[in-house]
Amino acid sequence: MDKQTVTIYDVAREADVSMATVSRVVNGNPNVKPATRKKVLDVIERLDYRPNAVARGLASKKTTTVGVIIPDVTNIYFSALARGIDDIAMMYKYNIILTNSDENGRKEVQVLNTLMAKQVDGIVFMGNDISDEVRKEFERAKTPIVLAGCVDDQDQMPSVNIDYTAAVEEATKNLIDHGNERVAFVSGSLDYPINRDYRLKGYKQALKKAGLRYDDKLVFETDYSYKAGQLLQPALQSVKATAAVIGDDELAAGVMNGVTDAGLSVPDDFEIITSNDTKLTEMVRPKMSSITQPLYDIGAVAMRLLTKLMNNEPVENKTVLLPYGLMKRASTH
């Protein structure tokens, strides 16, 4: 039934050497006489021997596997990060255990436990928020953890992000400079520090510098979904907003289509700047102006940082900010 599995012991016997020697050649240890190496390699080939990574993991206490916690793979923003993570992981011979958390604290805790149980060598965590329970798990972890596209308001964890405050400030300023006096701030939950402490702060700063009064009627807290955006149009109109900075591309697409479907023109009647510069921004009409973020790179750099941490290599800067930009497309003047 089960296909026969050949072990290091079989190879040792056939090659007439010890397991230790086989282990050495498999692991590329140079302390093996070339002739012996060849002999062993031949047997390995003949028997079609594959080292068992689980046994290896147990003996060496390294699994070459890292955990990745993602809110939802289906979200184009996070999947771009995930792609960066996986590519770099592969480059460094790691595999990735990917799990969707739905930003659900309980699920996150549970997943963290499973990952630790599986002895992953490290973890990349994505999400908008780090709940207290999650933070507690982070602390008990025996394993390095880095945050990607996820801000730590207590500034303890290694992380890779952009300067959301500055980016939103710049975007808001841009809209104000176009003559908009009532710029809406459309965001995901303000319980998330990334929105409350960073993005909103940037928005307020821009207002202040422009001498505009902050009006919390212009702040819209919703969830990151296309649908939510679409339904926002009446509310936006009722507060006389003529522009919006929006925290997520799908949400922005929703807002834009809501506005457009209501017969208004983007950008003539309503200007929009979104935040993540995913490929969605180019697919939608008009194309959306956006804060640009190096999405793939955020994931890639996070994973690279993690490899250093896992190797106990010195790390100059544990919280890295990647450069952002502002990409003008057709949803702004």
Partner DNA sequence: AATCAAATTGAAAACGTTTTCAGCTTGATA
Partner DNA sequence: TATCAAGCTGAAAACGTTTTCAATTTGATT
Positions touching its own copies (CB under 8 A) are 2-3, 5, 48, 50-55, 57-58, 63, 65, 68, 72-74, 76, 79-80, 82-83, 86-87, 90, 95-100, 113-119, 140, 142, 226, 250, 253-254, 257, 260, 279-280, 282-285
Q: What pairs with residue 124 in β-bridges?
A: 68, 146
Q: Maximum CA pair distance of the chain?
A: 84
Residue 27: name its binding partner from its own copies, DNA, none (Cβ under 5 to 8 Å by kind): DNA
Residue 9: name its binding partner from DNA, its own copies, none (Cβ under 5 to 8 Å by kind): DNA
Rounded to 5 degrees, φ, ψ at 123 are -140, 135
Measure Cα distances from 154 to 60, 71, 193 in Å. Answer: 34, 21, 10
Of 42 and 282, which has the nearer Cβ to DNA?
42
Distance CA 69, CA 53 (A): 23
Per-residue contact flags (x/-) with DNA for residues 16 to 45, judged by CB under 7 A:
xxxxxxxxx-xx--xxxxxxxx--------
Residue 142: name its binding partner from its own copies, DNA, none (Cβ under 5 to 8 Å by kind): its own copies
- Please state the closest distance from residue 254 (CB atom) to its own copies, in A: 8
Helical pair 76-91 and 249-261, crossing angle rounded to 10 deg: 150
Measure Cα distances from 67 to 71, 100, 116, 121, 160 in Å. Answer: 13, 11, 9, 8, 16
Of 184 and 280, which has the nearer Cβ to its own copies?
280
Of 27 and 179, which has the nearer Cβ to its own copies?
27
Distance CA 83, CA 103 (A): 19
Distance CA 280, CA 290 (A): 11
Q: Number of C-alpha atoms within 13 angstroms, CB side, residue 39?
A: 14
Of 170 and 271, which has the nearer Cβ to its own copies?
271
Residue ranges in 52-131 assigned as alpha helix (H): 53-60, 76-91, 105-117
Beta carbons within 8 Å of 67's beta carbon, 6+ residues apart? 96, 97, 99, 111, 112, 115, 118, 120, 122, 123, 124
Residue 105: name its binding partner from its own copies, DNA, none (Cβ under 5 to 8 Å by kind): none
Residue 285: name its binding partner from its own copies, DNA, none (Cβ under 5 to 8 Å by kind): its own copies
- Please state the closest distance from residue 116 (CB atom) to DNA, in A: 11
Of 116 and 322, which has the nearer Cβ to DNA?
116
Measure Cα distances from 147 to 107, 189, 207, 246, 297 in Å. Answer: 17, 19, 30, 22, 13
- Please state the closest distance from residue 118 (CB atom) to DNA, in A: 12
- Please state the closest distance from residue 113 (CB atom) to DNA, in A: 13
Residue 280: name its binding partner from DNA, its own copies, none (Cβ under 5 to 8 Å by kind): its own copies
Strands (E), 90-242: 95-100, 122-125, 145-148, 159-162, 183-187, 219-221
Of 95 and 257, which has the nearer Cβ to DNA?
95
Of 16 and 177, which has the nearer Cβ to DNA?
16
Residue 226: name its binding partner from DNA, its own copies, none (Cβ under 5 to 8 Å by kind): its own copies
Structure tokens at 257: 């289509």
Considering CB under 7 A, how many residues would be counted as binding DNA?
Answer: 33
Residue 18: name its binding partner from DNA, its own copies, none (Cβ under 5 to 8 Å by kind): DNA
Compute and round to an integer the Cα radius of gyration of the chain.
25
Among residue numbers 49 through 68, which ones bind DNA (CB under 7 A)?
Answer: 49-52, 55-56, 58-61
- Given the rule CB under 7 A, which residues bind DNA? 5, 7-9, 16-24, 26-27, 30-37, 49-52, 55-56, 58-61
